[in-house]
Amino acid sequence: MKLSPASEKFVLHWGEMGARWGVNRTQGQIHALLYLADRPLNAEEIAETLSVARSNVSNSLKELQGWGLVKIVHTMGDRRDHFIGIQDVWEIFLLILEGRRKREIDPTVSVMRECAKEAEASGDPAKDKVRAMLDFLDVMLEGYEQVKQIPPQALLQLMKMAQQMQGAMMSKPKPG
């Protein structure tokens, strides 16, 4: 599959961003390629397009399937697995957030809970600060759970309204 210059730039950048989001560069590039592709691709096509080893593609596809970002599909007359990327940008966003939460935030909250218990039990002077951090994380996670339940279109409308309100507040002359 031949990529246009814009598509190639997107794929390369998504690989760089993937490395910052907790997946390796190849996984990010594969995800971007499958998002942009106008048809399902098999592992050989992916390896050839990205100039990466077939084994790397296989391992990366398994990881991306674990995140829920890539799915296997089958095509008539071809016994090989073909792959598609999730196309809904909100779904991608939520899957990445959820994956990061499980890998980064949840373990941190768990350690914070242990630290809070230990600090409280021992009378550690840091107990109030540890408790404040834990309380903050708990509030943020509860907010995240609530926001996750809002349908994407309603969430977009809320975000646009918030931007408009912020713009209106910033353009008001300050008293005094």
Tell me whether residue 176 is in a domain.
no
Instruction: pLDDT band for 175, please (50, 70, 90 cuts).
Output: low
**Residue 33 belongs to a domain:** yes
Instruction: Confirm if 127 and 112 have CB atoms less than 8 A apart.
Output: no
What is the DSSP secondary-structure string of 15-82? HHHHHHHTS-HHHHHHHHHHHH-SS-EEHHHHHHHHT--HHHHHHHHHHHHHHTSEEEEEETTEEEEE
Share the mean pLDDT of the chain.
92
Q: Which of 85, 109, 136 is where one domain is finished?
A: 85
Q: Is the pLDDT of residue 176 over 70?
A: no
Taking phi over 0 as left and psi of -120 to 50 as alpha, with beta for the rest, 77 belongs to left
How many distinct structural domains can be found in the chain?
A: 2
Question: Are 123 and 51 found together in one domain?
Answer: no
Do the Cβ atoms of 31 and 18 come closer than 8 Å?
yes
Q: Are residues 151 and 109 in the same domain?
A: yes
What is the rounded distance in angstroms from the CA atom of residue 131 to the CA atom of residue 110? 13
Residues 49 and 9 in one domain: yes
Q: pLDDT tens digits, residue range 116-147?
A: 999 999 999 999 999 999 999 999 999 999 98
Quick check: 130 and 112 in contact, CB under 8 A? yes
> Do the Cβ atoms of 62 and 45 come closer than 8 Å?
no
Give the residue among 8, 6, 5 at the shortest CA–CA distance from 51: 8
pTM: 0.77
* 41: its two tokens: 């691709």
Taking only the tens place, the pLDDT of each residue in 78-93 is 999 999 999 999 889 8
* 98 or 26, which is more confident: 26
Instruction: Read off the CATH number of the domain in which 69 is found.
Output: 1.10.10.10
Q: In 105-151, where does DSSP find H-type helix?
A: 106-122, 127-148
| Distant-in-sequence, close-in-space partners of 13: CB < 8 Å, separation ≥ 6 | 32
Domain span at 52? 5-85
